[in-house]
Structure formats: C-alpha cells, structure tokens
Chain A
Amino acid sequence: MSTKRNTFRHRTLPYLLIAPQLVVTLVFFMWPAAQAVIQSFQQEDAFGLSTTWVGFQNYQALFADPDYLNALKVTVVFTLGVTAMSLGLALLLALAVDRMVKSATVYTTLLVWPYAVAPAVSGVMWWFMFNPTIGIFPYLLRMVGYDWNHGLHGTDAMILVVLAASWNQISYNFLFFVAGLQSIPASLREAAAIDGAGPAKRFWTITLPLLSPTTFFLLVVNFVYAMFNTFATIHATTQGGPAGSTNILVYKVFNDGFIGLNLGSSSAQSVVLLFIVIALTVVQFAWVERRVQY
C-alpha cells in the first residue's frame, strides 16, 4: 500500500484523524459482525433467558429447511432476472446513444435520473401500476385474456419485483456501458468496416469483446445490487409473498430476525450472506487488479 515518499511527522495527529472512522467501524461493523458469527453457533431458549452453544446446528437446520432452500432458489431467479433485464436494456440503450452525435446528452439526461429514485418508491409505483383491480397493466393484460394477480400467482409477483428492481438499475448500467463504448477507439471499428464487416458483425466481433471488461464488472455489481440492495423493493411490494415466491435471502434474514425473532437462524443466515459478499468482493477486486495490469 502506497503512501507519500515524504510524510508529516506527528505522534498523535494521525490517530486523531483516523479515530472517528475507526470507532464507527468497530462499533457498528466489526462488533455486530462478530456477534452475528458467534450467535450463529448459539441457541436462545424460548424466553431469551439463556443461550447454549450448539455448534453447526443452526446451519444444519438452515440447509434442511425447505423455506430457506426456496429462498435460495428465489434469490437466484430474482438475481438473474434483474441482471439480465437491466444489463440487456442498458446495453441496447447505450449502443443507440453511442450512434447519436447531437442528441446524446439529451437522451442521457432523460435516462439517468431513475438512479435517484429510492427502490422503495419505484416499488410502490410499479405495485400501483400492476394493481390487480385498477392497475393499467392488468387491465391491458385482461384484454388479451391474462388474469394478472401478483397477490395470488408467484410468477406474477416475481415479474413485478424484477421489473421494479431493474427499472432502478438501468441508468447505472447505461452510464457505465456508454463510458465503455466511448473508450473503444473509433479506429478499430473503422478498420473492421474497411475489412468488410457490417454493423451486426462489427458488434459481435469488435464491440462486444472489447466491452467485456465493463460487462463483467457490471455483472458483479448487479449481482450485489440484486442480492443486497433490493430489500426495499420486496418489503414495499410483495413482502416475500405470495407463499414465499419472492422471499429473497436478505428479506428472509430480516423477517426471521425481527418478526420471527429467531436469533440463531437469523445469525446463521447473516453469516451465509457474509460469505456471499466476501466472494463477490474478492471476484470484483481480482478483476480490478487484472484491469490495472493492462
């Protein structure tokens, strides 16, 4: 880790400067995380009066619990759905903006602001538009003979939360794809054109491969987003239902901990999430390291 070759000499000042950050980190990050790990190996009795050490029992119970396995499955479907939808649409829009000369900034402005809308707020808006009795989309779907009801049908509920969560994330992906496209030298595409490649061929053989670092980075970011930052989307709309069909992991942790008050299980779930975040962070950093070497 680098510092300046030359540094100030002072005995106490650096500690004073770093203290606020460290105190907050220790009190609100390290200590709670350590508690989660410890509690995941403990069981509280029904009255919360005593705790006993139970080893890996909480974890065993967790992976034997059909609800948890269902939540895992739901999380995978939800994450893949959000990532595919928000990345796909964002790439399409970025490619289109990349062709624009004069109108690029106008379109960009019109496309980036959903980033600023809270996931909970976008959740409520989509929930409203899909309201089974008065919503505009169920009304249109009824005309083609589909009876939309996310309160009853798990698939409908899943589509709703994927749409709401993707809507928020498109602008972010869009901006990074635009930046990625701009960093591809025009001369490469020109050379390919001289070599006789048409627009479609150029996209598949030049643009897409050269965009792959951006795509990979966004893939990881979108996984993290869909898995951890969409609690609000779920909580503000389906609340995990119907029948657990949108019960993603972060929602289940909250639900089991705060509503179900199952401390041991909630902690074990936290630790599993912790490992997922660590894995994703490591992948992301490995990628950053690799990019630096280019």
Chain B
Amino acid sequence: MVENRRFLNILAHLVLILGVAFVAFPVYIALIASTHGQNDFLSGVIPLLPGHDTIRNYSAMMTQGLASSGAPPLWLMLGNSLIMALSISIGKIAISIISAFAIVYFRFPGRMIAFWLIFVTLMLPVEVRILPTYKVVAELGMLNTYAGLTVPLIASATATFLFRQVFLTIPEELMEAARIDGAGPMKFFWDILLPLSRTNIAALFVILFIYGWNQYLWPLLVTTGTDHYTIVLGIKRMADIADQQPEWNFIMSTVVLAMVPPVLVVIFMQRLFVKGLIETEK
C-alpha cells in the first residue's frame, strides 16, 4: 500500500460489502422462499424473512418430486447430476492425461495430425454443432443413457494442453533416470508422472466437476424421459408449466439443493479452484 488514506479504505470496504450483497442477495431470496408455504407466493411481494415450511418443502421434494410438472424426486436428479459431473470430470481427466502423455513422451507417425485434431475441438462448442451431434448420439442409440449424457462431452483440448504443459515442465532427466531404473513407459506414467501431476489433477477436477454439474443444453437434448434428468434441468422443467403459477417454494428448494454441491466444492477447495481456473486459461 502506497499510502494509507482512511477515506479510500472505507470506500473500498463499502464497495466490497455492496459487491458481496449483490452476489449473495439472489441466493438469500431463494433460501428464504424455500422455507415458505405455497400460499405465501400468491400475492403481495415475495417474503424476505424465513418461514416455517422448510422441512415440509425439502422432504416433499426429495422423496416425491413435483408430479404436476413431471419432475422426479430430487434424490434421483441429484444422483444423476453427480453421475454426470463425476463421469465428465474423471473421463476428461483420464483421456486427456493419457493423450498428453502420448504427445509429449512419444514420437510417432501422425502425432502432429492428432495434436491438431485435438486442438480444433477448442473451436467446436456444442452450441455450434448442436443438431448433427444430436443425430450422431441418436443413431448410436445413446439418447436417454448416461453414456449419451457424458461421453460426447469428455473430449477436451484444454485439459490435454494443461497436462502437456505440466509434462513439459517435468525435468527430462527424471524420465531418463526412470528408464535407467528399469521403468517402462506405463510404469513411468504410474510411478512418476501421475504422482507429480496430483495437484494439477485435483485443480482440474474442481473445475470440471462444476462444468459437468452445471451442464444444461446437452442434457436438455439427450434426455427425453425423467429418469435421466439432472437437477439443473429439473428446475427448468418445474418452472415451465404453462397457464399455472409456478410452485415457487418447491422450485426454490430445488434451486438451493442444485447449488449446494458445486458451491461447497468451490468454497472448500478454493485454492485448487483458483489454480485450476487460472491454469486452464493459459
């Protein structure tokens, strides 16, 4: 700090407190709404203080869901979200780390072509190739399956580049020492490379877990039956009833439950999260 100006410090605190309020307010409103009964949303303004129906709302949603809008019980959707988030993050990390290993530690015909094919995927987000990708998945019979939900999302140029970067910073001599110590390529990978990439893997996992949990467009296309709904998608389905007041208390308890897992991951693994975020964008 160059100089200590009281006024500026107070102003800074004020800005930050307002910022935190802006960031927290929607969540506060959602939390409060999830504690009220259906009747509190019929008229007037949405409640700003806690109500008495917390347990009723959450237990109803967890066990029964919202039959009127075809939403299954929340535990099912939470389970689907967890499966999707874990499969995507673990799948992406697994296929990226082995392909980065191949690209960095081997020289083989076609290596450059492979590298460019992976690179180009950076430029092809789902939104850009939406219909044909859907058709491929449909033709492979993967609609409404966990494989259909996850496999098309697990190719990742970003993760491959990240691991390539990590491997390039590992001293050359380590691999030579391992070779002299009698380690073949896969043994070197398991014994040396994987342990040395541990924190990078963890950081990437945090980012990818959030990415997977928050997927929306893809599950929207691929799931047609409620048994594969993810929670993020379920919220939308509930809010989406024509000619009817949405049941806000149930929707908002779902909103809260949909936020809790990824937000907890960010808060408790903040250091890894920041590392992951900044590294994947390099």
Residues of A within 8 A of B (CB): 1-8, 10, 13-15, 17-18, 20-22, 24-33, 35-36, 39, 89, 92-93, 95-97, 99-101, 103, 107-122, 124-129, 131, 133-136, 139, 167, 170-172, 175-176, 179, 186, 189-190, 193, 199, 202, 217, 221, 228-229, 231-232, 235-236, 250, 253-254, 257-258, 263, 266-267, 270, 273-274, 277-278, 281, 288
Contact = CB atoms under 8 A, between A and B. Distances in A.
Contact of B99 (A21, A124, A131): A21
Given A7-B107, A111-B23, 13 more contacts: A14-B106, A18-B102, A21-B118, A32-B133, A99-B1, A121-B214, A121-B258, A124-B239, A125-B26, A232-B217, A254-B130, A273-B127, A278-B123
B151 interface: yes
Given A25-B118, A124-B255, A139-B45, A270 B129 contact: yes
A100 B269 CA distance: 22
Given A31-B132, A93-B15, A202-B2, A112 B127 contact: no
Contacts, number: 307
A32 to B, nearest CB: 4
A4 B170 CA distance: 10
17 contacts: A14-B111, A18-B103, A20-B99, A24-B95, A39-B131, A96-B16, A111-B19, A112-B274, A116-B214, A119-B214, A120-B235, A228-B127, A236-B236, A267-B132, A273-B128, A274-B129, A278-B123
B24 A110 contact: yes
A22 B117 contact: yes
Interface string B5-40: 100110111011001101111110110010000000
A140 to B, nearest CB: 9
Interface residues of chain B: helix, strand, loop or mixed (majority):
helix
B122 interface: yes
B194 interface: no
Given A29-B124, A257-B131, A129 B99 contact: no
A49 to B, nearest CB: 16
B2 A117 contact: no
A29 B152 CA distance: 8
Nearest to B127: A250
Given A15-B108, A134-B46, A1 B115 contact: yes
Contacts of B107: 3, 7
Interface residues of chain A: helix, strand, loop or mixed (majority):
helix
A54 B226 CA distance: 40
Given A101-B1, A190-B2, A96 B15 contact: yes
B132 A33 contact: yes
B130 A257 contact: yes
Interface of B: 1-3, 5, 8-9, 11-13, 15-16, 19-20, 22-27, 29-30, 33, 41-46, 48, 94-96, 98-99, 101-108, 110-112, 114-115, 117-118, 120-125, 127-137, 151-152, 154-155, 160, 168, 172, 175-176, 184-186, 188, 210, 213-214, 216-217, 220-221, 232-233, 235-236, 239, 248, 251-252, 255, 258-259, 262-263, 265-267, 270, 273-274, 277-278, 281-282
